[in-house]
Homo-oligomer: A and B are copies of this chain.
Amino acid sequence: MSSSVSHNVYFDGKVQSLGILTEKGKATVGVMKPGTYVFNTSSHEIMEIVSGVLRAKLSGGEWLSYKKGDAFEVAANSSFEVKCDADVAYICYYN
C-alpha cells in the first residue's frame, strides 16, 4: 500500500514542494511564488526548471538565468540564492 505524498512548506508558503522517488533517487517537485529565497543544501542537488524562469546564484558564483529544461547543480553543505518575477515550477534531485 502506498503512503501519502509528502508535502513541504517553506518561506510562509511561498515555496512548497512534494516528495517523489524517481529513477534518479529522491527528489521534490515544487512551486515558488515571485520572490528571492536562499536555500541551504545538506546533499548534492540538481535543480531542473519545469515552468517559468529562475535566476540563481551559487555560492561564490554570479547570477544566471534558467528556463524550462535547464538545470544547475549545487554542492552539498552549501547555499544558493534564487529570484523569480513570476511563478516557477522545478524538480530538485538529491543525490
A residues near B, CB below 8 A? 2-5, 7, 9, 12-23, 27, 29-35, 50-52, 86-89, 91
The distance from the CB of A64 to the nearest CB of chain B, in whole angstroms, is 20
Which residues from chain B contact A15 at a C-beta distance below 8 Å? Answer: 5
A30–B5 CA distance with the chains assembled, in angstroms = 10
Q: Is B51 within 8 A of A20, CB to CB?
A: yes
* CB contact between A89 and one of B2, B3, B29 (< 8 Å): that residue: B29
Given A29-B29, A89-B29: A14 and B18 within 8 A (CB)? Answer: no
Q: Is B31 within 8 A of A4, CB to CB?
A: no
Q: Is B14 within 8 A of A2, CB to CB?
A: yes
